[in-house]
Amino acid sequence: MTDTWASGEPATLDDLDEQVDDLSEMDLDLDALTVDPAPLNDGPTDPFEDDDEGTSLACFEGDTGRLDYAQRRVLHALMKNRYISADRHHDQWVALLDNEDLIKSRLNDLFLDLHIDRTYQVAFKRQAVAETGAPLPTLLHEVAHNKEETIMLVALRGRFFRQRQDGDNVVYVEKSALLDEVAGMRPEHATDRAFNQKKTERAVEGLRKAGVLLKTPDPDRFRISPVIEVLLPLPKLRELMTWLMTQNGGDDVSRTTEQAALDEAEVESGDDA
Protein backbone atom coordinates (compact mmCIF):
# COMPACT_ATOMS: atom_id res chain seq x y z
CA MET A 1 0.00 0.00 0.00
CA THR A 2 1.34 3.39 -0.93
CA ASP A 3 0.67 6.57 1.00
CA THR A 4 -1.92 7.57 -1.60
CA TRP A 5 -4.62 5.35 -2.97
CA ALA A 6 -5.14 4.46 -6.64
CA SER A 7 -5.96 7.28 -9.04
CA GLY A 8 -9.53 8.35 -9.57
CA GLU A 9 -12.21 9.91 -7.42
CA PRO A 10 -11.25 9.45 -3.75
CA ALA A 11 -13.40 7.46 -1.40
CA THR A 12 -14.96 9.65 1.25
CA LEU A 13 -15.55 9.24 4.95
CA ASP A 14 -19.27 9.12 4.25
CA ASP A 15 -18.63 6.13 1.99
CA LEU A 16 -16.83 4.39 4.84
CA ASP A 17 -19.90 4.16 7.11
CA GLU A 18 -20.84 0.67 6.00
CA GLN A 19 -17.25 -0.52 5.99
CA VAL A 20 -16.68 0.76 9.52
CA ASP A 21 -19.73 -1.18 10.66
CA ASP A 22 -18.33 -4.28 8.98
CA LEU A 23 -14.95 -3.67 10.54
CA SER A 24 -16.44 -3.56 14.03
CA GLU A 25 -17.68 -7.14 13.47
CA MET A 26 -14.25 -8.41 12.41
CA ASP A 27 -11.63 -9.97 14.59
CA LEU A 28 -10.49 -6.61 15.92
CA ASP A 29 -10.26 -7.38 19.59
CA LEU A 30 -8.61 -3.99 19.97
CA ASP A 31 -11.90 -2.25 20.80
CA ALA A 32 -13.04 -4.91 23.19
CA LEU A 33 -10.26 -4.32 25.64
CA THR A 34 -9.39 -1.93 28.41
CA VAL A 35 -6.13 -0.06 28.13
CA ASP A 36 -3.16 1.36 29.90
CA PRO A 37 -0.28 0.80 27.49
CA ALA A 38 2.44 2.01 29.86
CA PRO A 39 5.22 -0.58 30.32
CA LEU A 40 5.01 -2.53 33.55
CA ASN A 41 8.59 -3.74 33.93
CA ASP A 42 9.55 -0.88 36.20
CA GLY A 43 6.87 -1.85 38.71
CA PRO A 44 7.53 -3.23 42.19
CA THR A 45 9.51 -6.40 42.63
CA ASP A 46 8.06 -9.33 44.53
CA PRO A 47 7.80 -8.07 48.14
CA PHE A 48 7.34 -11.64 49.36
CA GLU A 49 10.34 -13.31 47.74
CA ASP A 50 12.23 -13.27 51.06
CA ASP A 51 9.35 -14.71 53.04
CA ASP A 52 10.85 -16.73 55.90
CA GLU A 53 8.47 -19.64 55.49
CA GLY A 54 8.72 -19.57 51.71
CA THR A 55 5.23 -21.06 51.36
CA SER A 56 2.77 -18.20 51.83
CA LEU A 57 1.04 -16.78 48.76
CA ALA A 58 -0.70 -14.03 50.73
CA CYS A 59 0.03 -10.48 49.59
CA PHE A 60 -2.27 -8.74 52.07
CA GLU A 61 -4.31 -9.46 55.18
CA GLY A 62 -7.10 -11.91 54.50
CA ASP A 63 -5.64 -12.87 51.10
CA THR A 64 -6.91 -16.32 50.04
CA GLY A 65 -5.62 -16.13 46.46
CA ARG A 66 -3.81 -19.13 45.02
CA LEU A 67 -1.54 -17.38 42.54
CA ASP A 68 1.94 -16.30 43.47
CA TYR A 69 3.08 -12.71 43.05
CA ALA A 70 4.54 -13.13 39.54
CA GLN A 71 1.43 -14.94 38.31
CA ARG A 72 -0.82 -12.24 39.75
CA ARG A 73 1.18 -9.56 37.94
CA VAL A 74 0.58 -11.38 34.66
CA LEU A 75 -3.15 -11.59 35.27
CA HIS A 76 -3.23 -7.96 36.40
CA ALA A 77 -1.33 -6.85 33.27
CA LEU A 78 -3.69 -8.73 30.96
CA MET A 79 -6.76 -7.27 32.65
CA LYS A 80 -5.39 -3.72 32.75
CA ASN A 81 -3.86 -3.48 29.28
CA ARG A 82 -5.15 -4.06 25.80
CA TYR A 83 -2.21 -6.38 25.29
CA ILE A 84 1.16 -7.29 26.72
CA SER A 85 4.28 -7.85 24.65
CA ALA A 86 7.72 -9.34 25.15
CA ASP A 87 9.50 -6.06 24.48
CA ARG A 88 7.34 -3.79 26.64
CA HIS A 89 6.33 -6.20 29.42
CA HIS A 90 9.23 -8.62 29.52
CA ASP A 91 8.76 -10.02 33.03
CA GLN A 92 5.04 -10.58 32.53
CA TRP A 93 5.62 -12.17 29.12
CA VAL A 94 8.10 -14.68 30.53
CA ALA A 95 5.81 -15.48 33.46
CA LEU A 96 2.86 -15.91 31.10
CA LEU A 97 4.67 -18.48 28.98
CA ASP A 98 5.69 -20.33 32.15
CA ASN A 99 2.12 -20.35 33.49
CA GLU A 100 -0.03 -20.26 30.36
CA ASP A 101 -2.57 -22.89 31.42
CA LEU A 102 -3.01 -21.40 34.87
CA ILE A 103 -3.51 -17.84 33.60
CA LYS A 104 -5.87 -19.02 30.89
CA SER A 105 -7.90 -20.86 33.52
CA ARG A 106 -8.26 -17.71 35.62
CA LEU A 107 -9.42 -15.74 32.59
CA ASN A 108 -11.84 -18.50 31.66
CA ASP A 109 -13.40 -18.15 35.11
CA LEU A 110 -14.38 -14.63 34.00
CA PHE A 111 -15.74 -15.79 30.62
CA LEU A 112 -12.60 -14.48 28.92
CA ASP A 113 -10.18 -16.28 26.63
CA LEU A 114 -6.44 -15.85 26.21
CA HIS A 115 -4.79 -15.25 22.84
CA ILE A 116 -1.01 -15.61 22.54
CA ASP A 117 0.84 -14.91 19.31
CA ARG A 118 4.35 -16.26 19.68
CA THR A 119 5.45 -14.99 16.28
CA TYR A 120 4.88 -11.35 17.20
CA GLN A 121 5.23 -12.01 20.94
CA VAL A 122 1.98 -10.39 22.02
CA ALA A 123 -0.87 -11.65 24.19
CA PHE A 124 -4.29 -10.29 25.05
CA LYS A 125 -7.65 -11.24 26.50
CA ARG A 126 -10.86 -11.43 24.53
CA GLN A 127 -14.47 -12.32 25.14
CA ALA A 128 -15.09 -16.06 25.20
CA VAL A 129 -17.74 -17.48 22.87
CA ALA A 130 -20.00 -20.31 23.98
CA GLU A 131 -20.04 -23.42 21.79
CA THR A 132 -23.82 -23.16 21.64
CA GLY A 133 -23.69 -19.52 20.61
CA ALA A 134 -25.52 -18.50 23.76
CA PRO A 135 -24.48 -15.11 25.16
CA LEU A 136 -22.02 -15.10 28.05
CA PRO A 137 -21.61 -12.45 30.74
CA THR A 138 -19.03 -9.91 29.64
CA LEU A 139 -16.61 -7.56 31.35
CA LEU A 140 -15.45 -6.01 28.09
CA HIS A 141 -16.95 -3.12 26.20
CA GLU A 142 -17.15 -3.25 22.42
CA VAL A 143 -16.72 0.14 20.79
CA ALA A 144 -16.52 0.43 17.01
CA HIS A 145 -13.62 2.34 15.51
CA ASN A 146 -14.58 5.71 14.13
CA LYS A 147 -13.91 6.56 10.51
CA GLU A 148 -10.61 8.31 11.10
CA GLU A 149 -9.25 5.40 13.14
CA THR A 150 -10.35 2.93 10.47
CA ILE A 151 -8.41 4.73 7.75
CA MET A 152 -5.36 4.96 9.98
CA LEU A 153 -5.49 1.27 10.92
CA VAL A 154 -5.53 0.26 7.27
CA ALA A 155 -2.65 2.64 6.50
CA LEU A 156 -0.63 1.45 9.50
CA ARG A 157 -1.17 -2.22 8.72
CA GLY A 158 -0.16 -1.72 5.12
CA ARG A 159 2.94 0.25 6.04
CA PHE A 160 3.97 -2.30 8.66
CA PHE A 161 3.56 -5.18 6.23
CA ARG A 162 5.43 -3.41 3.44
CA GLN A 163 8.43 -2.40 5.51
CA ARG A 164 8.67 -5.77 7.25
CA GLN A 165 8.75 -7.35 3.79
CA ASP A 166 11.67 -5.02 3.02
CA GLY A 167 13.54 -6.34 6.06
CA ASP A 168 12.82 -3.61 8.62
CA ASN A 169 12.42 -5.07 12.11
CA VAL A 170 11.11 -1.79 13.51
CA VAL A 171 8.59 0.31 11.57
CA TYR A 172 7.97 4.00 12.17
CA VAL A 173 5.33 6.41 10.93
CA GLU A 174 5.19 10.19 10.96
CA LYS A 175 2.12 11.79 12.48
CA SER A 176 1.82 13.99 9.40
CA ALA A 177 1.51 10.88 7.20
CA LEU A 178 -1.49 9.70 9.22
CA LEU A 179 -3.11 13.13 9.04
CA ASP A 180 -2.60 13.15 5.27
CA GLU A 181 -4.18 9.69 4.93
CA VAL A 182 -7.38 10.93 6.54
CA ALA A 183 -7.38 14.33 4.85
CA GLY A 184 -7.14 12.64 1.45
CA MET A 185 -10.42 10.85 2.07
CA ARG A 186 -12.48 13.75 3.37
CA PRO A 187 -15.67 14.43 1.40
CA GLU A 188 -15.81 17.74 -0.44
CA HIS A 189 -18.54 19.05 1.83
CA ALA A 190 -16.37 18.58 4.95
CA THR A 191 -15.06 22.14 4.92
CA ASP A 192 -14.63 22.74 8.65
CA ARG A 193 -10.89 22.17 8.70
CA ALA A 194 -10.42 23.00 12.39
CA PHE A 195 -13.09 20.51 13.44
CA ASN A 196 -11.74 17.84 11.09
CA GLN A 197 -8.22 18.41 12.37
CA LYS A 198 -9.33 17.88 15.98
CA LYS A 199 -11.10 14.64 15.06
CA THR A 200 -8.01 13.35 13.31
CA GLU A 201 -5.76 14.34 16.21
CA ARG A 202 -8.06 12.48 18.59
CA ALA A 203 -7.86 9.41 16.37
CA VAL A 204 -4.06 9.47 16.54
CA GLU A 205 -4.20 9.81 20.31
CA GLY A 206 -6.73 6.99 20.52
CA LEU A 207 -4.42 4.61 18.67
CA ARG A 208 -1.54 5.72 20.85
CA LYS A 209 -3.50 4.96 24.01
CA ALA A 210 -4.47 1.62 22.49
CA GLY A 211 -0.81 0.71 22.14
CA VAL A 212 -0.95 0.50 18.34
CA LEU A 213 1.23 3.62 18.09
CA LEU A 214 4.19 3.68 20.48
CA LYS A 215 5.94 6.85 21.58
CA THR A 216 9.43 7.79 20.42
CA PRO A 217 11.69 10.68 21.53
CA ASP A 218 10.12 12.67 18.67
CA PRO A 219 6.51 13.53 19.63
CA ASP A 220 5.54 13.62 15.94
CA ARG A 221 6.94 10.19 15.15
CA PHE A 222 5.61 6.82 16.32
CA ARG A 223 6.72 3.22 16.24
CA ILE A 224 4.06 0.86 14.94
CA SER A 225 3.45 -2.00 17.36
CA PRO A 226 3.60 -5.54 15.93
CA VAL A 227 0.18 -6.07 17.51
CA ILE A 228 -1.28 -4.47 14.36
CA GLU A 229 -0.60 -7.72 12.46
CA VAL A 230 -2.50 -9.74 15.04
CA LEU A 231 -5.44 -7.37 15.35
CA LEU A 232 -5.84 -6.79 11.62
CA PRO A 233 -4.77 -9.99 9.79
CA LEU A 234 -4.04 -10.04 6.06
CA PRO A 235 -7.46 -11.29 4.89
CA LYS A 236 -9.22 -8.41 6.65
CA LEU A 237 -6.67 -5.90 5.39
CA ARG A 238 -7.02 -7.18 1.85
CA GLU A 239 -10.80 -6.90 2.08
CA LEU A 240 -10.64 -3.26 3.13
CA MET A 241 -7.92 -2.36 0.63
CA THR A 242 -9.90 -3.92 -2.22
CA TRP A 243 -12.94 -1.88 -1.28
CA LEU A 244 -10.92 1.32 -1.02
CA MET A 245 -9.29 0.80 -4.41
CA THR A 246 -12.68 0.09 -5.94
CA GLN A 247 -14.02 3.33 -4.52
CA ASN A 248 -11.01 5.13 -6.00
CA GLY A 249 -11.70 3.99 -9.55
CA GLY A 250 -9.59 0.81 -9.60
CA ASP A 251 -10.69 -2.39 -11.34
CA ASP A 252 -9.81 -6.07 -11.35
CA VAL A 253 -7.18 -5.59 -14.04
CA SER A 254 -5.41 -2.62 -12.45
CA ARG A 255 -3.72 -3.95 -9.30
CA THR A 256 -1.06 -2.28 -7.22
CA THR A 257 2.27 -3.91 -6.38
CA GLU A 258 1.29 -4.01 -2.75
CA GLN A 259 -2.00 -5.75 -3.45
CA ALA A 260 -0.09 -8.45 -5.32
CA ALA A 261 2.34 -8.74 -2.41
CA LEU A 262 -0.56 -9.20 -0.02
CA ASP A 263 -1.96 -11.99 -2.19
CA GLU A 264 1.43 -13.69 -2.31
CA ALA A 265 1.80 -13.44 1.47
CA GLU A 266 -1.63 -14.98 1.98
CA VAL A 267 -0.73 -17.92 -0.28
CA GLU A 268 2.50 -18.49 1.64
CA SER A 269 0.73 -18.37 5.01
CA GLY A 270 -2.16 -20.53 3.86
CA ASP A 271 -4.76 -17.83 4.58
CA ASP A 272 -7.89 -17.60 2.51
CA ALA A 273 -8.98 -14.25 1.19
- Per-residue pLDDT tens digits for 230-251: 888 878 777 767 765 665 554 4
Task: Say what the pLDDT of residue 270 is.
Answer: 47
Q: Compare 258 and 243 and report the one with higher pLDDT.
A: 243
Instruction: Report the CATH number that the domain containing residue 65 is assigned in CATH.
Output: 3.90.1150
Residue ranges in the chain assigned as alpha helix (H): 17-24, 69-80, 90-98, 100-108, 147-165, 175-183, 193-209, 227-231, 234-247, 257-269
6 near 248, Cβ under 8 Å? yes
Q: Could you tell me if residue 7 is inside a domain?
A: no
Asked if residue 118 and residue 69 are part of one domain, the reply reads yes
Asked if residue 149 and residue 123 are part of one domain, the reply reads no
Task: Say what the pLDDT of residue 46 is.
Answer: 58
Task: Say what the pLDDT of residue 66 is.
Answer: 92
Asked if residue 174 and residue 95 are part of one domain, the reply reads no
Q: Could you tell me if residue 132 is inside a domain?
A: no
Task: Say what the pLDDT of residue 114 is.
Answer: 96
Q: Compare 195 and 10 and report the one with higher pLDDT.
A: 195
Per-residue pLDDT averaged across 180-190, rounded?
A: 81
Task: Say what the pLDDT of residue 69 is.
Answer: 94
Asked if residue 261 and residue 172 are part of one domain, the reply reads yes
- Per-residue pLDDT tens digits for 42-69: 455 555 554 445 567 889 989 999 999 9
Q: Which domain holds residue 263?
A: 14-28+145-269
Task: Say what the pLDDT of residue 97 is.
Answer: 97
Per-residue pLDDT averaged across 258-267, rounded?
A: 49
Q: Could you tell me if residue 232 is inside a domain?
A: yes
| DSSP secondary structure, 131-197, as one string | TT--------------HHHHHHHHHHHHHHHHHHHTT-SS-EEEHHHHHHHHHTT--TT---HHHHH
Task: Say what the pLDDT of residue 254 is.
Answer: 34
* pLDDT above 90: percentage of residues in the chain: 38
- Per-residue pLDDT tens digits for 128-182: 999 888 889 988 877 666 788 888 988 999 899 899 889 998 999 999 999 998 8
Asked if residue 201 and residue 100 are part of one domain, the reply reads no
Asked if residue 94 and residue 83 are part of one domain, the reply reads yes
Q: Which of 50-59, 84-93, 176-185, 218-227 has the lowest mean pLDDT?
A: 50-59
Task: Say what the pLDDT of residue 21 is.
Answer: 53
Per-residue pLDDT averaged across 208-218, rounded?
A: 93
Task: Say what the pLDDT of residue 4 is.
Answer: 39
Enumerate residues 6+ apart whose C-beta is below 8 A from 199: 146, 148
Mean confidence (pLDDT) of the chain: 77
pTM over cut 0.85 = no
Asked if residue 188 and residue 107 are part of one domain, the reply reads no
Residue 85 host element (H or E): strand 84-85
Task: Say what the pLDDT of residue 31 is.
Answer: 46
pLDDT band at 253; cut points 50, 70, 90: very low
Task: Say what the pLDDT of residue 78 is.
Answer: 96
Asked if residue 23 and residue 34 are part of one domain, the reply reads no
